[in-house]
Amino acid sequence: MKQMHLFLSFFFLALVISCSKDDETINEPLELEQELNNLPIAPENISHTIIALNWEAVKSDNNAKVTYDIYLEGVKIKEGNEDTDFTLTGLESDTDYTGEIIANSSSEKSKSKTSKVRLDKIPFSAKTKKYKNANAPEPSDFLIEVTNITLVSATLQWEAATITDNSEIRYDVYLEGDKVSENSTSTRFLLPLLNSNTEYTGEIIAISSNEKTKNIGFSFKTKESNNLSTEPSDFTVDIEFVRDDFARALWKRPNFDNDAEILYDVYLGDEKVLENNTDARQLLNIQLRDLKPNTSYSGKVVAKNTTTKTGHFSFITPETITLSDFTMSIDDITSNSARINWTSSVASDNSEVSYKLLGIIASDSSTETFFKANDLRPSTRYVITIQATAGNVYQVNQFIQKEFTTAASPVENPNISFPLSHVGGGVIEWVPPIAPDGQGFIYNVYEGLELKEANLPGTTNMLNNIVPVDEFGQFTFESYGNYDIEVEAVFSDGSIAIEKLNFRIDPPPPYPVENLSVENITGTTATINWLPSYTPNGGTIYYNVYLDGNPVTNMYTYFETSYTFENLTPNTFYNVTVEALSDGGSSDPVDISFSTL
């Protein structure tokens, strides 16, 4: 028997019987409207552990709804599949598999009984690919957490898989047998547009560049609303990020019989909160603010073209989450350190409270109620801000603030100087001072009030060894911006010398876009696509698109990596230019040309 590591929920479905024998009857097969052949499986739909099934829809002679039961090696792994595709995962490599898809048509026979008509079977067979290196390691196990579950969405978070040969690992995400994310390097994925009060199962597949995979399953249930709208809708409006005073309505652009502009009116109850809004995007949203906690809301989105379509929505805001007051104290203050303590805060929903220090003295989030601040600057005033965070349904924050001043520094010696110079990029240089007692000394480097480096040795290496090692000191800043730099030389006799320097590091421009291409060309439309640009410093990227030298996007507003031109002239030659923009300026332009049909 073949060893199959199919996702466990498939086997669970095989054991579940959705209707009792008293309520269901199986009739003889109906005559189908089309002839059924063996299921074609394209080679690109088969990998080492995956077979993607795809078949033509089956129709019954009474036009009743048709669902599909999927069997692999005689075992039912999916029941009542409504789509005409399904992905078999967790298979063995270099293995022959056979199965069948059984189409079923159900109709109401009476008020208490359902007639289930079994249609003809659709058989299939395929063989998974063989590994080039069967002994290559596979990715490690990893944990998946489903968070931020709402009525219509959930967030998947997982730890990165590891592999002993350091191959690159990417991730595919499947939900109910459908691939919803492919070839991603992120370990976080939002599942939007779900149904409320619904059980979902899926899996994340870690795929290594050595071809080996690791399948990890997950399951969750979306939240249930006590006040879902029962009014008929022409399109779906979903609600996300519901707080006690805020929610976001999300919908896809509805289809009309023409391409005319769509105007949107949004109602919350009987109040019109948005009127005649124009937005050509495919996915739209509106933020609903100033809501009341623990309150039922309903509303609608009206899309207006030559006709109108309406999408209804409803939701319930949760109770308000509050955090109790807490206090802070600061003790053990020296010239370069202090201990910060605070009392615990309590959340009204009994959720765990975490704390984080913000500002010049910062810390990671933790449940601890103390923090030891080191490497502070003598005789310096510091403002301490602590953020408390809690909440199971949504997060709330509370802040407290307190200030203190560190103890006095050693005696300053104004007779010793070592001027600083900025020599390009983030590098500063200085000539080491001569200590008054002839002994060694250390440097402390500050950016504004923040201590960047402490106890640097009195002699440091010079960039590229342009001058002798002990003639200059140096320090490097990696990010861009305006800098107020202060270098403090602390001598063994307790005296100090201080030098200051102000300079600016400009950010680098982004790289040009790559793989600019044109597709879906018609007489009046065409779509361009390109790979995302990036900057060495990781800044935000925008794009400017030009058609025959004329801009079609606004500077610093367009983030997408594709653009569709409309209202073009048939049989006309066009030139397109795309450039990337960031705080560092613009990239070199990239051009492409095409002709409409």
Render 264-287 in DSSP notation, one character per residue. EEEEETTEEEEEEEE---SEEEEE
Q: What integer pLDDT is reported at residue 44 of this predicted model?
A: 59
Which amino acid is residue 32, in one-letter code? L
**What is the pTM (predicted TM-score) of this model?**
0.38
Residues of the chain predicted below pLDDT 70: 1-44, 62, 106-120, 151-152, 192-193, 225-232, 424-426, 459-480, 537-538
Cα 560 to Cα 552: distance, rounded to the nearest angstrom: 13
Cα 135 to Cα 407: distance, rounded to the nearest angstrom: 63
Cα 421 to Cα 98: distance, rounded to the nearest angstrom: 74
Neighbouring C-alpha atoms within 13 Å toward the C-beta of 258: 8
Q: What integer pLDDT is reported at residue 29 of this predicted model?
A: 40
Q: What integer pLDDT is reported at residue 449 of this predicted model?
A: 76
In this structure, the strands spanning 411-412 and 495-505 are parallel
In this structure, the strands spanning 188-191 and 178-184 are unpaired
Q: Which of 301, 259, 295 is nearest to 277 (CA)?
A: 301
Q: Which of 38, 176, 14, 30 is nearest to 103 (CA)?
A: 30
Q: What integer pLDDT is reported at residue 24 of this predicted model?
A: 40
Cα 342 to Cα 400: distance, rounded to the nearest angstrom: 10
Q: What is the pLDDT of residues 482-534, one digit of tens each?
A: 778 888 888 877 788 888 888 777 777 889 999 999 999 999 999 999 998 98
Q: What integer pLDDT is reported at residue 324 of this predicted model?
A: 94
Q: What integer pLDDT is reported at residue 571 of this predicted model?
A: 94
Q: What integer pLDDT is reported at residue 266 of this predicted model?
A: 94
Q: What angle do CA 97, 100, 103 make, to 5 degrees?
A: 160
Q: What is the pLDDT of residues 44-94, one digit of tens each?
A: 578 888 888 888 888 777 677 888 888 999 898 888 888 888 888 888 888
Q: Which of 144, 132, 129 is nearest to 205 (CA)?
A: 144
CA distance readout (Å), 295 to 312, 314, 347: 17, 11, 21
Which amino acid is residue 90, in one-letter code? G
